[in-house]
Structure 1
Amino acid sequence: MEDQTANVVVAARTALNQASALAVQYGFSILGAIVLLIGGWILAGAISRSAYRVISRVRGIDETLASFFQNLLHYSLLILVFITVLGQFGVQTASIIATLGAAGLAIGLALQGTLQNIAAGIMLLVLRPFRVGEYIETVNVKGFIRDIGLFATEMKTADGLYLMAPNSTLWNTPIINHSREPNRRQELSLAFGNEVDTDLARKTIFDVLKADQRIQTKPAPVVYFDDFAADQTVMKIEYWTITAVWTQTRHDIIAHLKSRLAAADIPIK
């Protein structure tokens, strides 16, 4: 009986010593992991914020793009910190990195279309073929830009409808920006019967153009014969005006031409 009691006491002391040794060994590892996690979290935040300030100062970099790079750097640093912490406990980090790479490849293949939109969004934000408030036209869509995101661009059509276009559809097609240039040329065509006095028609047209202050004098407006047939003569009008008033100027010029030519007894075909 005494021998059994002695054996139990020895076994208990041995277990206690082993537990103490493990607590000391892993206690420092756990404490180091906690310090590393806290320090890594703070350092990752500081580095990402500094990177954001630097990137946002670069000319042409959009706020959305700067935030994207900030978050990408922040979470990449956190993953690096997490892998380093696991290495403190003897975990083979090489296998973890390989697993993350394989998972990233699988996710990339699964989200191929989404990644295309992100890549297109980054290029649109960097190269800036259009900005918020501008009116653009592509093969598929046209409208005013409301917001440029990483996945899609929000637009408002000319008749007031909401439109969301995936960035890949905008990046992979020619874009006509109607608002980017400050000045824009307008072209109008008028058809007259061959019995009309074309000199009087030209003079009347020039009078209408000169009377409108929105039409620029440099380059000066021009009126010329564009086509001639057995039953009609076609005159073309070209003038330049500010892009912001291009549409309204067109409407007003057409109305004024119609009234002035009618007053001069010059019929339009």
Structure 2
Amino acid sequence: MPTDPQSALITIQAGLAQLSTLIVSYSFSAIGAVILLVLGYLVAGLAERSIYAGLGHIHGFDETLRHFFSQVVRYAILILVVIMVLGQFGVQTASIIAAIGAAGLAIGLALQGTLQNIAAGIMLLALRPFRIGENVEVGAIAGTVEEIGLFATKLRTAEGVYILAPNSTLWNQPVRNFTRNGVRRTDVTLSIG
């Protein structure tokens, strides 16, 4: 520590000069980060709307899948923008990307059954082995399809019983669709005597 006033003043001036240099350099980084965030937010919204509208032009493409895919694109862009902003401030983004990858792997393993239902739901919506209002039998489950979601499908039996079946169960078994033929044969056994 300087003891005389002259050297103390020089030390304070040098410290203020360094501080002003840091403030200017970080203010440019902060302004760039804000611009990047705003542009990223706008691009993510535009990409979401474009994907949603583009998939809407495909005949028979499911509304749930349109919404799902457009949201995935939006959040992927937003995550990329946040990583770019952090990189602008000197944060090592490679470690962040590795952490996101490891977290994704851990979440994927923890939610394996749920992700299997989502994948099966996407396949059911894309390939359409049955549609809403059709009468189907899948394994021991039989009824009229009321809703096909990403996780599960809602059916109602002839007796009026509500069934919520996981999509992976419906996807992994043969589907008997009684509505698509237009004609249905019923076997009735009568005993006489």
Alignment TM-score, normalising by the size of structure 2: 0.92
Aligned to 1:19: 19
Aligned to 1:9: 9
Helix, strand or coil at the partner of 1:12 = helix
Distance of 1:139 and 1:185 partners within structure 2? 19
Over 3 Å counting, the alpha-carbon distance change for 1:154 and 1:187 in structure 2 is closer
- 1:182 is displaced (CA, Å) by 2.4
Aligned to 1:264: none
Over 3 Å counting, the alpha-carbon distance change for 1:164 and 1:189 in structure 2 is closer
**1:71 has 2:75 as partner:** no
What is the CA deviation profile of residues 22-62 of structure 1, one whole-angstrom value per residue up to 9, with x for unaligned ones? 11001000000001001100111101110111112212321
Moved more, 25-34 or 14-23: 14-23
- 1:181 is displaced (CA, Å) by 2.3
Helix, strand or coil at the partner of 1:183 = coil
Of structures 1 and 2, the larger Rg is shown by 1
What is the CA deviation profile of residues 202-254 of structure 1, one whole-angstrom value per residue up to 9, with x for unaligned ones? xxxxxxxxxxxxxxxxxxxxxxxxxxxxxxxxxxxxxxxxxxxxxxxxxxxxx
Taking only aligned residues, the RMSD between alpha carbons, in angstroms, comes to 1.9
Distance of 1:189 and 1:161 partners within structure 2? 25
Distance of 2:190 and 2:107 partners within structure 1? 60
Over 3 Å counting, the alpha-carbon distance change for 1:22 and 1:158 in structure 2 is same
Q: Quote the sequence identity (%).
A: 54
Over 3 Å counting, the alpha-carbon distance change for 1:123 and 1:12 in structure 2 is same
- 1:185 is displaced (CA, Å) by 4.3
Distance of 1:128 and 1:105 partners within structure 2? 30
Aligned to 1:32: 32
Matches within 5 A, 1:118-157: 118-157=118-157
One-letter amino acid of the counterpart of residue 36, structure 1: L
**1:174 has 2:178 as partner:** no
Aligned to 1:59: 59
Structure 2: stretches of 5+ with no match in the other structure: none
What is the CA deviation profile of residues 58-111 of structure 1, one whole-angstrom value per residue up to 9, with x for unaligned ones? 123210011110111110011111111111112221111111111111111111
One-letter amino acid of the counterpart of residue 56, structure 2: S
Distance of 1:90 and 1:50 partners within structure 2? 33
Distance of 1:179 and 1:66 partners within structure 2? 26
**1:47 has 2:47 as partner:** yes
Name the structure where strand makes up a greater proportion of residues.
1
Distance of 2:80 and 2:21 partners within structure 1? 30
Over 3 Å counting, the alpha-carbon distance change for 1:187 and 1:141 in structure 2 is closer
Aligned length: 192
